[in-house]
């Protein structure tokens, strides 16, 4: 039987007194690849932050690997790629330094990098296509390249559970394909992956399950519906499992414009 890696019950979050997540129930099993979808502002990033302990809950409970979040200490089992490139962070770090920080929790405290660490860092840099920029300052990179540095940092840690918040925003198609390959390798090793995305593009074949948020609630939870964000018609669907076919039909009837999987999203100026 598959074990449950993430379990959230009755999870509610408010920001500035405004409810942003309203009673989310989600269970994600070992090895699942889940796409978290929904319109802008539906609460996707907030859910990821709540599940990783970065956002306090108003009500509810989260367990990671069966351990309540408040008592969870195995941070090296987690990887997190945040939404906005913040790799530079005002610190004059090189690409290599930022990516090697992804190994911090994997190696003995205060010890130099071992060859196994260097190999993981080099591999991660290669996957995101930045191996020839290793010595450059992160601040000299474009926003999209900085995003790739953060992806490499997470991959270098070889996490068992990886959260990625819109990892392909501002990343060109060739690198989206490379990212898909990297995530496939991670998935093949048994990792559980939760990905926030508007468009799946080359990642689509990896997705086992889609969870769609609408206005802070789960509007759909089941088989993936296709590449693109969810049409309005799905927004009112009750939280339900295994309705993929009906919903796919609804999508065909009401949303004839299907975005090509090859569409890549231009970098967002936010």
Ligand X SMILES: Nc1ncnc2c1ncn2[C@@H]1O[C@H](COP(=O)(O)OP(=O)(O)OP(=O)(O)O)[C@@H](O)[C@H]1O
Interaction between residue 43 and ligand X (CB under 6 A): yes
Nearer to ligand X, 102 or 170 (CB): 170
User: How many CB atoms are closer than 10 A to CB 157?
Assistant: 24
The full DSSP string for the chain is -PPEEEEEEEEEEEETTEEEEEEEEEEEETT-EEEEEESTTSSHHHHHHHHTTSS--SEEEEEETTEEGGG---GGGEEEE-SS--SSTT---BHHHHHHGGGGGGS-TTPPPPHHHHHHHHHHHHHTT-GGGTTSBGGGS-HHHHHHHHHHHHHHT--SEEEEESTTTT--HHHHHHHHHHHHHHHHTT-EEEEE-S--GGGGGG-SEEEEEETTEEEEEES---SSPPPHHHHT--S-SS-HHHHHHHHHHH---PPPTT--PPPP--
Interaction between residue 45 and ligand X (CB under 6 A): yes
Of 38, 85, 159, 222, the one binding ligand X by CB under 6 A:
38
Q: Which of residues 104-123 bind ligand X (CB under 6 A)?
A: none
Q: Which of residues 7-36 bind ligand X (CB under 6 A)?
A: 15-16, 20
Interaction between residue 44 and ligand X (CB under 6 A): yes
User: Which among 22-30, 42-50, 118-126, 230-238 is the span making contact with ligand X, rule CB under 6 A?
Assistant: 42-50
Interaction between residue 42 and ligand X (CB under 6 A): yes
- Closest contact distance (angstroms) between CB of 150 and ligand X is 16
Of 17, 40, 108, 256, the one binding ligand X by CB under 6 A:
40
Of 10, 41, 89, 205, the one binding ligand X by CB under 6 A:
41
User: Which among 38-46, 69-77, 130-138, 245-253 is the span making contact with ligand X, rule CB under 6 A?
Assistant: 38-46
- Closest contact distance (angstroms) between CB of 18 and ligand X is 7
Nearer to ligand X, 120 or 150 (CB): 150
Nearer to ligand X, 99 or 169 (CB): 169
- Closest contact distance (angstroms) between CB of 112 and ligand X is 38
Interaction between residue 228 and ligand X (CB under 6 A): no
C-beta of residue 243 within 8 angstroms of C-beta of residue 237: yes
- Six-digit token string for 5: 């890696």
Of 5, 11, 35, 46, the one binding ligand X by CB under 6 A:
46
- Six-digit token string for 249: 């039909």
- Closest contact distance (angstroms) between CB of 265 and ligand X is 11
- Residue numbers at the binding site for ligand X (CB under 6 A): 15-16, 20, 38, 40-46
């Amino acid at each position: 039987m598959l074990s449950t890696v993430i379990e959230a019950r009755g999870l509610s979050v408010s920001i500035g007194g405004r409810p942003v997540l309203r009673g989310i129930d989600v269970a994600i099993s070992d090895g699942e690849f889940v796409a978290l979808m929904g319109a802008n502002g539906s609460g996707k990033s907030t859910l990821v932050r709540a599940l990783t302990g970065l956002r306090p809950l108003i009500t509810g409970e989260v367990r990671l690997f069966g351990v309540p979040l408040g008592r969870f200490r195995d941070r090296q089992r987690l990887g997190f790629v945040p939404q906005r490139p913040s790799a530079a962070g005002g610190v004059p770090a090189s690409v290599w330094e930022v990516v090697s920080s992804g190994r911090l929790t994997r190696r003995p405290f205060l010890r130099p990098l071992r060859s196994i660490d260097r190999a993981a860092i080099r591999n991660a840099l290669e996957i995101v296509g930045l191996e020839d920029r290793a010595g450059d300052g992160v601040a000299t990179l474009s926003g999209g390249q900085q995003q790739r540095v953060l992806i490499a940092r997470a991959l270098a840690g070889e996490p068992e559970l990886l959260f990625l918040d819109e990892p392909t925003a501002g990343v060109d198609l060739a690198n989206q394909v490379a990212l898909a390959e990297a995530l496939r390798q991670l998935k093949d090793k048994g990792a559980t992956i939760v990905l926030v995305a508007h468009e799946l593009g080359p990642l689509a074949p990896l997705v086992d399950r889609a969870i769609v948020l609408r206005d802070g609630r789960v509007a759909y939870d089941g088989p993936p519906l296709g590449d693109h964000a969810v049409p309005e018609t799905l927004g009112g669907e009750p939280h339900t499992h295994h309705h993929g076919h009906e919903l796919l039909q609804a999508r065909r009837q009401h949303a004839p414009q299907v975005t090509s999987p090859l569409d890549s999203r231009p970098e967002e100026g936010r």
